């Protein structure tokens, strides 16, 4: 494939944007080569600036669960835009999407909309601290909760891709309140709670991890966290920015049947526009300004374009009783097909999957936490990434990312993807 125009556009971008990108993982640093500039996208396909067509497994890192330029979402945004794009005043559509979200997700009474997953997680932790009157939080190595200071301690996603899971600029004062645990290791969490009695406000985690590849929780892990939280007056925060409205209508809470105290959303809930949200039961949400003392605000929060996109997306998901089964079936088909060709070509691998999230790890052992994820063969991943790309398949340019299956993918697309994998390793 030719990337002439992408190379030129990237060179221009590098002069005026740090690293040429507005979010680090886009720069292809982990895999080398030139980032691809997208011209447009429709359904399962990306069309780049050089005229290449790619089958997309990133889908804007999750939001485009029904494929790119999904007509009901696009139409809703266009119609809204004609009537003004932001007022900084209440609008009826905010209540409409809030009612729908609250009806779809278990165990929440109220929801507050923000502009990104980062904001959602940051605000959820502030709320947990305010509500409990305690300062410390527990997070897990390899989980990503956005780029706010408290979370840039052994963070996943781009943070590990760039080898700087702990960012300069995060003060020691902030870092000391973030306690780090190993994913899927209940004993570790128990020990941290014992060592910090009555100091921990919340445990925050991705109920199915998606930012160190896809790592499902082992049996009993989420239930164990729930019990530990109940026994120690700690709030359990599920960061469902990736899993919310993706694994099920009610997200991981519903699929795995464990209730969180606060749930964070992003990605799918915005239908491709900048949206995040956090939600909880009344007694917790009523602690937020203007009802309660915990402050949180946003000039563009709940703006009509974002709400129109999100509402159209949630409606589509809510009205389609088969959508999540269909997505899971496609993902299983891809899993089996990839496993078959990797085995045939004697490539050591582990494939993790849950619902429409899947990741391929070039590992000997099972990938269950950050330590095991980090043991993957990165040279092999680079070969895989560029080989797939040359065959017209766009996967994440880092081994620490999940692939997102969309409803727009056909079985023919999946077969092409499996055949590409076979071709790469032959
Ligand atoms: C993407 C992501 C975030 C951050 O969301 P942004 O919209 O990028 O700020 C937080 N948590 C999880 C689990 C995510 O996947």
- Report the nearest atom of ligand 1 relative to the CA of 266: 7
Q: Are residues 419 and 299 in the same domain?
A: no
**Ligand 1: nearest atom to the Cα of 239:** 13
**Residue 157's pLDDT is what?**
64
State whether 175 and 300 are in the same domain: yes
pTM over 0.95: yes
Domain's final residue, options 266, 301, 319 = 319
309, 363: one domain: no
> Please, which contacts does 332-335 make with residues 24 or more away whose CB atoms are closer than 8 Å?
333/411, 333/414, 334/358, 334/405, 334/414, 334/417, 334/418
CATH number at residue 196: 3.40.640.10
Question: Bridge-partner residues for 280, per DSSP?
Answer: 110, 262
Domain tally, the chain = 2
pLDDT in tens, the chain (426 residues): 889 999 999 999 999 999 999 999 999 988 989 999 999 999 999 999 999 999 999 999 999 999 999 999 999 999 999 999 999 999 999 999 999 999 999 999 999 999 999 999 999 999 999 999 999 999 999 999 999 999 987 766 666 555 455 788 888 888 889 999 999 999 999 999 999 999 999 999 999 999 999 999 999 999 999 999 999 999 999 999 999 999 999 999 999 999 999 999 999 999 999 999 999 999 999 999 999 999 999 999 999 999 999 999 999 999 999 999 999 999 999 999 999 999 999 999 999 999 999 999 999 999 999 999 999 999 999 999 999 999 999 999 998 999 999 999 999 999 999 999 999 999
Atom of ligand 1 nearest to the CA of 121: 10
Q: Is 6 left (phi over 0), alpha (psi -120 to 50) or beta?
A: alpha
pLDDT value of position 367: 97
> Which of 319, 352, 382 delimits the end of a domain?
319
Atom of ligand 1 nearest to the CA of 240: 13
Cα 75 to middle of ligand 1, angstroms:
26
In angstroms, the first-to-last Cα distance of the chain is 19
The pLDDT assigned to 163 comes to: 47
The answer to whether 250 touches 105, Cβ cutoff 8 Å, is: yes
Among protein residues, the one with the nearest Cα to ligand 1's atom 5 is 117
Bridge partners for 393 per DSSP: 55
Backbone angles phi, psi at 239, to 5 degrees: -85, 95
What CATH number has the domain bearing residue 355? Answer: 3.90.1150.10
Evaluate whether 401 touches 211 at the Cβ level (below 8 Å): yes
Say whether both 158 and 65 belong to one domain: no
Residues with CB under 6 A from ligand 1: 116-118, 121, 144-146, 206, 210-211, 239, 241-242, 266, 276
To the nearest 10°, the Cα dihedral for 275, 56, 35, 33? Answer: 140
**Are residues 22 and 36 located together in one domain of the fold?**
yes
Q: How far is the CA of 416 from the centre of ligand 1 (A)?
A: 30
Regarding whether 359 and 214 lie in a shared domain, the answer is: no
Gap from CA of 242 to ligand 1 centroid (Å): 7
266 C-alpha vs ligand 1 centroid, how far in Å?
A: 7
Atom of ligand 1 nearest to the CA of 274: 7
**Is the same domain home to 116 and 221?**
yes
> For residue 313, which of 76, 129, 113 has the smallest C-alpha distance?
76
If asked whether residues 50 and 134 sit together in one domain, one would say no
CA distance 305 to 310: 9
- Residue 239 C-alpha to ligand 1 middle, in angstroms? 8
Look at strands 350-354 and 357-361 and give their pairing.
antiparallel
Question: Known catalytic residues?
Answer: 144, 239, 267
Question: 379 and 249: one domain?
Answer: no
Ligand 1, pocket-test mutation among 59, 121, 208, 210, most atoms within 8 A of CB:
121
Boundary of a domain, candidates 303, 319, 335: 319
Q: DSSP code of 294?
A: B
Residue 78 domain boundaries: 71-319
Cα of 206 vs centre of ligand 1, distance in Å, is 10
The best mutation among 24, 59, 117 to test binding of ligand 1, ranked by most ligand atoms within 8 Å of the C-beta, falls on 117
Same domain, yes or no, for 96 and 223?
yes
> How much is the pLDDT for 154?
72
Closest C-alpha residue for ligand 1 atom 11: 145
Return contacts of 89-98, CB within 8 angstroms, 24+ apart. 91/302, 91/304, 91/307, 93/304, 93/307, 93/308, 93/311, 94/302, 94/307, 96/307, 96/311, 97/307, 97/310, 97/311, 97/314
Backbone angles phi, psi at 182, to 5 degrees: -90, 135
Q: Are residues 144 and 245 in the same domain?
A: yes
| Candidate of 266, 271, 272 to mutate for ligand 1, largest count of ligand atoms within 8 Å of Cβ | 266
- Chain-centre distance of CA 346, in angstroms? 31
Question: Are 282 and 345 part of one and the same domain?
Answer: no
């Amino acid at each position: 494939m030719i990337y002439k125009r992408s190379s030129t556009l990237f060179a221009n971008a590098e002069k005026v944007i740090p690293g040429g990108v507005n979010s680090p993982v886009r720069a292809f640093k982990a895999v080398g080569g030139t980032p691809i500039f997208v011209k447009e996208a429709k359904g399962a396909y990306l069309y780049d600036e050089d005229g290449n067509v790619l089958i997309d497994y990133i889908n804007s890192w999750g939001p485009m669960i029904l494929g790119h330029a999904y007509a009901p979402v696009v139409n809703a945004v266009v119609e809204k835009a004609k009537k003004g794009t932001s007022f900084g005043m209440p609008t009826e559509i905010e209540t409409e999407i809030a009612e729908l979200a609250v009806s779809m997700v278990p165990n929440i009474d109220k929801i507050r909309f923000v502009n990104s997953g980062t904001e959602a997680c940051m605000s959820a932790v502030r709320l947990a601290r305010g509500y409990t009157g305690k300062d410390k939080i527990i997070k897990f190595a390899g989980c990503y909760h956005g780029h706010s200071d408290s979370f840039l301690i052994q963070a996943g996603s781009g943070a590990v891709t760039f080898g700087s899971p702990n960012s300069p600029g995060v003060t020691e004062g902030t870092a000391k309140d973030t306690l780090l645990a190993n994913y899927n290791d209940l004993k570790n969490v128990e020990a941290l709670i014992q060592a910090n009695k009555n100091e921990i406000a919340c445990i925050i985690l991705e109920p199915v991890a998606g930012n160190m590849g896809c790592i499902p929780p082992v049996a009993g892990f989420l239930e164990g966290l729930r019990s530990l939280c109940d026994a120690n007056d700690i709030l359990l925060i599920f960061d469902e920015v990736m899993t919310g409205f993706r694994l099920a209508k009610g997200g991981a809470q519903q699929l795995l049947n464990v209730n969180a105290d606060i749930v964070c959303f992003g990605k799918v809930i915005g239908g491709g526009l900048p949206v995040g949200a956090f939600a909880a039961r009344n007694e917790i949400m009523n602690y937020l300004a203007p009802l309660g003392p915990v402050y949180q605000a946003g000039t563009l929060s709940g703006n009509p374009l974002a709400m129109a996109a999100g509402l159209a997306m949630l409606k589509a998901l809510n009205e389609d009783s088969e959508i999540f089964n269909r997505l899971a079936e496609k993902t299983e088909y891809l899993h089996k097909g990839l496993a078959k060709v990797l085995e045939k070509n004697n490539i050591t691998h582990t494939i993790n999957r849950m619902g429409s999230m899947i990741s391929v790890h070039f590992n000997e052992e099972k990938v269950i936490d950050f330590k095991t994820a980090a043991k993957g063969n990165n040279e092999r991943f680079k070969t895989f990434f560029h080989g797939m790309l040359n065959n017209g398949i766009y996967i994440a340019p880092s081994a620490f990312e999940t692939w997102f299956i969309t409803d727009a993918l056909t079985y023919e697309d999946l077969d092409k993807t499996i055949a590409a994998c076979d071709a790469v390793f032959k």
